[in-house]
Amino acid sequence: MRRAIAVTLAGPVLFLSACSHAPSVFDGGVSSPRARVVGHATLEHWQRELRLGRRQRPALRFDNLSQTELRRRLDRAAETYDFEVVSVRFHRPRQLAPEVVVQTRRYLYLAQSARLFWTSIDPKRNTGDDRTGWRFEGFYFRAQDEHGVPFFIVYNAWRQTEPGGGQWARSERLYPFPHG
């Protein structure tokens, strides 16, 4: 039996397939090989969205945090919420779009804590519209276990004419944000 997992917060929906019967260290989640495939596909999707935005609305401006400030905020969150920052890569479709990979052994704790530190690392002005006011034109955040296997991914891309983002998790309990 297969089920589709919709990876979206707003905007276009990316459907990724997952085996509901695959073995996992997580409760009913997808297998490690499948999680790696999904992680790669989600990153490619995000990069395509950044390229699309670069072509569609090149004049749109974002008030980026500096690379140094983002790293400082990530380090503070890592210390507080018990994860290690594995890598930070700054894409430049037009301005900055961070790709962050973190690692922990405390999967559920990190997933449940993400809401607490997210606004610090991916800040947004209060505009009354979820599609506007973001500091970066895109953000990709992958949390992985001690074996390098993703257990949740959150991403967004705001420059294109239909901006949005998504999230994916290896199991229902590991989604960092409410979803439907």
Mind listing the pLDDT tens digit for each residue in 89-123? 999 999 999 999 999 999 999 999 999 999 999 99
Looking at the domain assignment, is residue 98 inside a domain?
yes
Looking at the domain assignment, is residue 120 inside a domain?
yes
7 or 121: which leads in pLDDT: 121
Least confident of 5-14, 87-96, 167-176: 5-14
Q: What is the share, in percent, of the chain residues with pLDDT greater than 90?
A: 78
Looking at the domain assignment, is residue 91 inside a domain?
yes
CB 164 within 8 A of CB 155: no
| Strands 138-144 and 150-157, bridge-based pairing | antiparallel
Looking at the domain assignment, is residue 93 inside a domain?
yes
Sign of CA dihedral 137, 180, 26, 5: negative
pLDDT of residue 69: 97
**Residues 70-97: what's their mean pLDDT?**
98
* pLDDT at 165 > cutoff 70: yes
Please tell me the distance from the alpha carbon of residue 85 to that of residue 96, in angstroms, as a whole number.
Answer: 18
| Model confidence band, residue 29 (pLDDT cutoffs 50, 70, 90) | low
pLDDT of residue 14: 36
Looking at the domain assignment, is residue 169 inside a domain?
yes
Looking at the domain assignment, is residue 73 inside a domain?
yes
Looking at the domain assignment, is residue 180 inside a domain?
no
Alpha carbon separation from 49 to 139, 174, 179 (Å, rounded): 11, 24, 21
Query: In which domain, by residue range, is 15 found?
Result: 2-174
pLDDT of residue 180: 74
Kindly provide the residue ranges of all beta strands, DSSP E only, lying in 10-122, ordered along the sequence.
14-19, 84-91, 97-103
DSSP, collapsed to helix, strand or coil, labels residue 165 as strand
pLDDT of residue 31: 77
Count how many domains the chain has: 1
Please tell me the distance from the alpha carbon of residue 152 to that of residue 30, in angstroms, as a whole number.
Answer: 11
Please tell me the distance from the alpha carbon of residue 30 to that of residue 19, in angstroms, as a whole number.
Answer: 6
**Residues 118-147: what's their mean pLDDT?**
94
| Strands 84-91 and 97-103, bridge-based pairing | antiparallel
Looking at the domain assignment, is residue 14 inside a domain?
yes
